[in-house]
């Protein structure tokens, strides 16, 4: 594991960062892939991101393809974890 801070992004952080360029959430998103921190993901979490962002994409001024591009990038720069349910 890296010595960088380890983070899991809340869906609200992603939404807020895409909604406005003036907040801390946008700054955080702009640092994705910079090596300043390591993002951790699971399939259920990505599905939650997708559901919320696709539902609110018009409020964000995004297309379906834009949302897919954001999620694809996030999946490329993040570390994926399998979740084993009982």
Q: Is residue 34 part of a domain?
A: yes
User: What's the rounded Cα separation, in Å, for the pair 42 and 25?
Assistant: 20
Judged against a pLDDT cut of 70, whether residue 2 lies above it is answered with no
**pLDDT 10s digits, 12-71:** 999 999 999 999 999 999 999 999 999 999 999 999 999 999 999 999 999 999 999 999
Q: Is residue 1 part of a domain?
A: no
How many structural domains is the chain composed of? 1
Kindly report whether the global pTM for this prediction surpasses the value 0.85. Answer: yes
User: What's the rounded Cα separation, in Å, for the pair 44 and 68?
Assistant: 16
Domain span including residue 62? 6-80
Q: Is residue 65 part of a domain?
A: yes
Judged against a pLDDT cut of 90, whether residue 86 lies above it is answered with no
Closest CA to 77 of 34, 44, 43: 34
């Amino acid at each position: 594991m890296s010595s960088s801070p380890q983070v899991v992004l809340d869906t609200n952080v992603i939404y807020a960062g895409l909604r406005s360029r003036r907040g801390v959430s946008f700054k955080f998103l702009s640092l994705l892939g910079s090596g300043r921190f390591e993002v951790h993901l699971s399939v259920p979490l990505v599905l939650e991101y997708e559901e919320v962002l696709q539902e609110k994409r018009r409020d964000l001024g995004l297309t379906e393809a834009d949302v897919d591009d954001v999620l694809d990038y996030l999946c490329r720069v993040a570390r994926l974890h399998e979740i084993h349910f009982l």
